[in-house]
Structure 1
Amino acid sequence: MINNLFSYNWQVRKEWFEWCRNVQNEELTKERVGGMGSILHNLLHVINCEHIWISQMNGEPVSKKDFTKSTSLEEIIVFSNEIKKNTQQFLHTIEADLNEKILSVTTRKGVSYDFPYHKVLLHIVTHEVHHMGQLSVWAREIDKKPVSSDLIFREWK
């Protein structure tokens, strides 16, 4: 089921990329209230968070995409494809019982947490859904029809 939810997010994300191709760059980069401040930064943020969590569960060093630089839609799409490939590989190699595997995380303030992998994966999925909702609000603000996030009518890929 978790693989299906990731597939759903990647479908919606891809449709947002196509949506962005029909919007002026000024609108994609315009500072907005809420989320990560702009349409492109919202997209970059969800991809980056997927990358960070999957890297941690994979025991790999975490490299964070720099949000301070101006990043183009094409750069974000390339980054998304790289991260999607890594996430797919991870999802295909993890064991069935995701509640047994634990990710230990220590915050910058030194507070430690232990999370079952299954909960981390659900967090990644719902985090992206949350930010896609913000994109929908911003799309309506610029009089554009947002991407449909309706799960029930989508085919699992």
Structure 2
Amino acid sequence: MIDMFLYNWQIREEWFKWCETISNEELKKKRIGGMGSIIHNLFHVIDCEQIWVNQMQGTPVIIKDINKISCLNDVKTFSNLTKPVTRCFIKSYTSEAEDRSLVVKSKNSTTKSFPFEKVISHILSHEIHHIGQLSVWSREIGLKPVSSDLIFRELF
């Protein structure tokens, strides 16, 4: 499991470097699908990761307005703030945690229970999904996307 988080974070850092090669206007440009822009897609995966992890830990969720994210530095700063919290949670994850569930109350006051293991799988696949959208958008603007090939990667 930790390897998949390391994989996602490595890919994320490479996308940050990729983003440094294009203008802020291009990063914020409205696009079809995902969260509507490159910068918002990157922010969204980080935000969702911290929301789920903080809920599983029982710690306060960081509330940030996606519409106030105005540049790549905002996203990188948020990633640097949240990644250590996730890393600590994952490193302390034990077999007892696998038996735990997260109870989530929806806007219409219904509750749903999710096993921690399923939440973690969701966090991992969610970022992979949105990274795929970045790859499509990069090709649309004529740039080569970051390679997300797992098999040939060395994880930190």
TM-score category, normalised to shorter length: over 0.9
Structure 2 gaps of 5+ residues are none
Conserved? CA contact 2:69–2:75, under 8 Å: no
Structure 1 position 97, deviation (Å)? 4.2
The match for 1:75 is 74
Q: Which runs of 4+ in 1 moved over 2 A?
A: 96-99
* 1:112 to 1:11, Cα distance in 2 relative to 1, 3 A: same
Secondary structure of 2:99's counterpart equals: coil
Secondary structure of 2:95's counterpart equals: coil
- Could you tell which deviates more after superposition, 14-23 or 69-78? 69-78
Secondary structure of 2:152's counterpart equals: coil
Conserved? CA contact 2:40–2:69, under 8 Å: no
Structure 1 position 71, deviation (Å)? 2.2
* 1:96 to 1:150, Cα distance in 2 relative to 1, 3 A: same
- Offset from partner CA, 1:3-41 (integer Å, 9 cap, x none): 000000000000000000001111100000000000000
The match for 1:120 is 119
Conserved? CA contact 2:102–2:115, under 8 Å: yes
The match for 2:154 is 155
- Could you tell which deviates more after superposition, 65-74 or 140-149? 65-74
Amino acid at match of 1:153: F
User: TM-score, with normalisation over the residues of structure 2?
Assistant: 0.96
Amino acid at match of 1:61: P
Structure 1 position 147, deviation (Å)? 0.3
Conserved? CA contact 2:30–2:36, under 8 Å: yes
User: TM-score, with normalisation over the residues of structure 1?
Assistant: 0.96
Secondary structure of 1:68's counterpart equals: helix
Amino acid at match of 1:71: S
Q: How many residues align?
A: 156
